[in-house]
Amino acid sequence: MRGRDLAVAALIAAMYAALVAALPMISFLLWQVRIADALLMLSTVLGWPAVVGVTLGCFIGNLTAPWGSTALILIDATMGSLANFVASYIAYKVAYRRGVAYKLAAAAIEVGVISVIVGSYLKYLLLWAFNVDLPLTLSILGVLPGSFIAIGVLGTALAIALEKRVT
């Protein structure tokens, strides 16, 4: 990565981690609106540095998770980072520097990827940390509305507004 790209990745990682740490009450557990996830859509405007930034930022931010166990926190940090990487990389490939229709498609893909991956492992974190046993579908559907708000609404608006300034 070039120096500028590295700086952009570091800035996005810092913003993501700071938003997660500053808003823990809406960044974790089943019903969450992780505002930091709006930054995933930056991959459609800023490309690879944004993919790297949201991946690293998620790992760092998830180290503040309320799971009460280092092992569970590391599972959350690793799996959440993987979810962010997959979602933002696909969005980057689908919509990088493309029009609004591609951004909307990328947002829908990101919402789906995040909901399925995070919802799938969140079921087990809730069981292991709090002895709450939810059906897998409920866990996935619990993540979906917040992901739609953060990525589909806020993230898409951010990407469209930023693209007008960058290009």
Q: State the average pLDDT for the chain.
A: 97
> Which of helix, strand or coil describes residue 10?
helix
Give yes or no for residue 167 having a pLDDT over 70.
no
C-alpha radius of gyration, the chain, whole number: 15
Residue 33, Ramachandran bin (φ over 0: left; ψ between -120 and 50: alpha; else beta): beta
Three-state helix/strand/coil letters over 16-31: HHHHHHHCHHHHCCCC
- For 44-79, the pLDDT digits (tens) are 999 999 999 999 999 999 999 999 999 999 999 999
Residues 122/30, Cβ–Cβ less than 8 Å: yes
Measure Cα distances from 89 to 23, 73, 122, 129 in Å: 25, 24, 22, 30
Average the pLDDT over 91-105 and give the result: 96
Spatial neighbors of 99 by CB under 8 A, at least 6 apart, are none
| Percent of the chain topping pLDDT 70 | 99
Nearest-5° angle of CA 151, CA 22, CA 52? Answer: 50
Tell me what pLDDT residue 166 has. Answer: 81
The confidence band for 97, taking pLDDT boundaries of 50, 70 and 90, is: confident
Distance CA 33, CA 142 (A): 10
Q: Which structural domain range is residue 105 located in?
A: 3-166
Average the pLDDT over 78-106 and give the result: 97
Average the pLDDT over 10-29 and give the result: 97
pTM for the model stands at 0.95
The structural domain count of the chain equals 1
**The two structure tokens encoding residue 75:** 């599972």
Average the pLDDT over 95-106 and give the result: 95
| CATH number of the domain where residue 59 is located | 1.10.1760
